[in-house]
Amino acid sequence: MTSADLLWTVLKVAVMVGFLLNVAGLLTWYDRRGGAMMQDRLGPNRAALKIGKFELRIAGLLHTAADGVKFFTKEDFMPPKADKLLFSLAPIIAFFPVFAILAVIPFGEPIAPDALWRFVCTKAGEASQLAVDGSCPAGFAKQWSFPWVPAHGVAHNAVSLQVAPLDVGILYIFAMAGQGIIGAAIAGWASDNKFSLMGALRAASQMVSYEVTLGLTLVGAFMIYGSIRLEDMVVWQQENAWGIFVQPLAFFLFFAAAIAESKRIPFDLPEAESELVSGYFTEYSGMKFGMFYFAEYAEIVTSSMLLATIFLGGWSLPFMHRDGITIAFGETVVAVTHIPHIWSVIISVLAFFGKVIVLCLLQAFIRWSLPRFRYDQLMKLGWTVMLPLSLANIFATGIVWIAVQRGGASVAAGLKTAGDITQGITAATITALVLWAIIGLVRKPTRRETIVGSSASYAAAAGGAKEAPIREAAA
């Protein structure tokens, strides 16, 4: 490995880990702030930085900082009869596999270092030429140039925006994600607490059950993409259509199973406060509890990364390719605009992380919208509803795929046009959502109180309240 390769690897690790840490931390704030807004109540408003008579609250963000200080300074309690080794090992097992998953997730277009920028020599009336050793002939002026690269093909020295482009791809992710089951099970068993043990049993059975659905929902995607490498999946979606259009049922099944894997409401049965105090980490405190707590939010980010990569086009945007924007429907080309390679890379990275943030906010919205399932309902949903649907999706995908392969060139051309139409629909939807968000941010909110009614008004509308007959006391 050369020094340049090492530098690129360190940079990629810093980008992915930095994004995960920051977004997971902000999600803890959004859970408080967003939940308060949805329920029309005060949110995080107590933690403040006082400078004289001035109080700095930063919309409640200081609560997240206060949580971090609390985790590091709180007493590290361990039950007297707990297994000390396993009790201390469980948070580590639950925490670090989440970060290991980041290694195979691509977050942008491959970079051609030679095409990011270059110096060219220009002279009026003559064609531009590359500067040799940073210098130009007499009479030529040296200028910056930001070239574009061809849409197809990757340079031999291209840098993949992926920490470890493994051939096993998604299989590595399932191997790492499965370690979380071990962490939860060990935490409950080693705590010497019946509530913790019950939470660990719930967590293990829930995660095993929904991992089956999680894996089977992707089989149909593998059949269509023809690869288990995540970067190949993104390239296929960039050239054809996003996975949500070719595997709509798989998208919703994977989304629901991913929420169940992260053990968030409405699937937070292993941590149910009203039943199990706090589940498998009831006995944990200090930074050990903080690792379990933060791992849950980190799982939200990683699951959103997988959803964006497999079903929402990864780093790609509608009609955008490596060389720029090409709006085409079938064989009809509407517009072509070339974009410098450096901007193409930046836009692709921002597109990927933007999709991840939107999916994280959607999961937080669901967390404050749905009630908790009963445990029997949770298991019944996984084994009798989602598992059969994932198998049916595989069967239906196989039939459609065989029919398409035997359909010939006319069917392929029709599907290509249909894919371009979905790109247009996606572009219009994204534009409308962005405009709606901008209008919502700049518009001054109005607060209106509406009294729906009272018990007296409802009783009067029903014909009045009836008094129960008074029973005379027995003589």
Q: What is the pLDDT of residues 266-309, one digit of tens each?
A: 887 777 666 666 677 788 878 888 888 888 888 889 989 999 99
State the average pLDDT over residues 437-446. 79
Which two three-digit tokens encode residue 156? 């031999």
- pLDDT at residue 475 above 50? no
Q: Identify which has the larger pLDDT, 78 or 134.
A: 78
Per-residue pLDDT of 316-360, as tens digits, reads 888 888 888 888 887 777 888 888 888 888 898 999 999 999 999
For 258, phi and psi rounded to 5 degrees? Answer: -65, -40
Q: pLDDT class for 391, splitting at 50, 70, 90? A: very high
Alpha helices in 39-83 (DSSP H): 62-73
Percentage of the chain beyond pLDDT 90 is: 8
Sign of CA dihedral 209, 212, 215, 220: negative
Q: pLDDT class for 194, splitting at 50, 70, 90? A: confident
- pLDDT at residue 17 above 50? yes
Q: Identify which has the larger pLDDT, 85 or 136.
A: 85
The distance in angstroms from the start CA to the end CA of the chain is: 102
CA–CA distances in Å: residue 345 to residues 51, 125, 148, 285, 342: 43, 33, 11, 43, 5
- Look at residue 162 in the predicted model and tell me its pLDDT: 86
Say which range, 131-145, 339-353, 376-390, has the weakest mean pLDDT: 131-145
- pLDDT at residue 91 above 70? yes
State the average pLDDT over residues 374-388. 86
- Look at residue 444 in the predicted model and tell me its pLDDT: 76
- Look at residue 177 in the predicted model and tell me its pLDDT: 81
Mean pLDDT rounded to a whole number for the chain: 81
For 426, phi and psi rounded to 5 degrees? Answer: -65, -45
- pLDDT at residue 139 above 70? no
- Look at residue 284 in the predicted model and tell me its pLDDT: 82
| Residue whose structure tokens are 């190949």 | 232
